[in-house]
Each structure stands twice: as C-alpha cells, then as structure tokens.
C-alpha cells in the first residue's frame, strides 16, 4: 500500500506563485510515474502534469510555460511549481502515483489540497 501526502496549497492572488509537494510513503517501489491532477466541483479530474520513471514529462496545454513538475532525488517526492497563477487554476489538486504491480498499473491518490486564485 502507498500513502500520498500533499502540502503547499492555499490562497494566492492572480499572477502569484505556489509550490505543491507530495511525498509517498509505504510500499512506494516500482513507481511507473507520479503527477498532479486537479478537479473543480461538477467536473472530471484532469491531468495537470506528470513525470514518468523515464523522466518524460506530460504537461497540460493550459499550464505549459507556467507550471513545472519535478521529482526529488529520493524518487518518492514530486513537486509542482505554479507561477503566473490565474483564477481558472482554482481547484483541488491531487497527487497521483502509478505503481507497477506485475503487469498492472495501480493508481494511488492523495487527499487533495485546495488552490484558490483570486482575481
């Protein structure tokens, strides 16, 4: 089992910055990838950014050039640096870890952290 703990959300004015952190604990070996998703009420959870075990990046078009994803040296931490924040970035941000268990990829989720951007 894998546990994910996020931190770093909060309230910021438009144009400001926030940095989200996520740490995996437990049996976090065989990580296929880690990333961040976000969700607003009534809508689906969407990918923001992810980094694979081969260090390939997948960044949503809506945040390209503003958000940066990185991984810690210990490989069980992932960060999301969010710059030039816009009100439309307001959402609950969820950390995601994909673990390779045999031939199956099993997703794990954090509890979510609220990011609110005021205009």
Contact yes or no for 82/9 (Cβ under 8 A): no
Q: What is the pLDDT of residues 17-45, one digit of tens each?
A: 999 999 999 988 888 999 999 999 999 99
Whole-angstrom CA distances from 15 to 24, 82, 116 are 30, 10, 12
Q: What is the pLDDT of residues 100-118, one digit of tens each?
A: 998 999 999 999 999 999 9
| 77-82: strand order across its sheet | 2-7, 18-26, 77-82, 67-71
From the number of C-beta atoms within 10 Å of its C-beta (0-12, 13-18, 19+), residue 49 rates as buried
Per-residue confidence band for 72, with pLDDT thresholds at 50, 70 and 90? confident
């Amino acid at each position: 089992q894998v546990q994910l703990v996020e931190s770093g959300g909060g309230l910021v004015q438009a144009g400001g910055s926030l940095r989200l952190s996520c740490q995996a604990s437990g049996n976090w070996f065989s990580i296929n990838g880690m990333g961040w998703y976000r969700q607003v009420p009534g809508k689906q959870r969407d990918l923001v950014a992810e980094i694979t075990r081969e260090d390939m990046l997948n960044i949503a078009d809506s945040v390209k050039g503003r958000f940066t994803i990185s991984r810690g040296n210990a490989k069980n931490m992932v960060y999301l640096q969010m710059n030039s924040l816009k009100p439309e970035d307001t959402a609950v941000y969820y950390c995601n870890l994909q673990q390779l268990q045999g031939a199956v990829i099993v997703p794990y989720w954090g509890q979510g952290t609220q990011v609110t951007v005021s205009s």
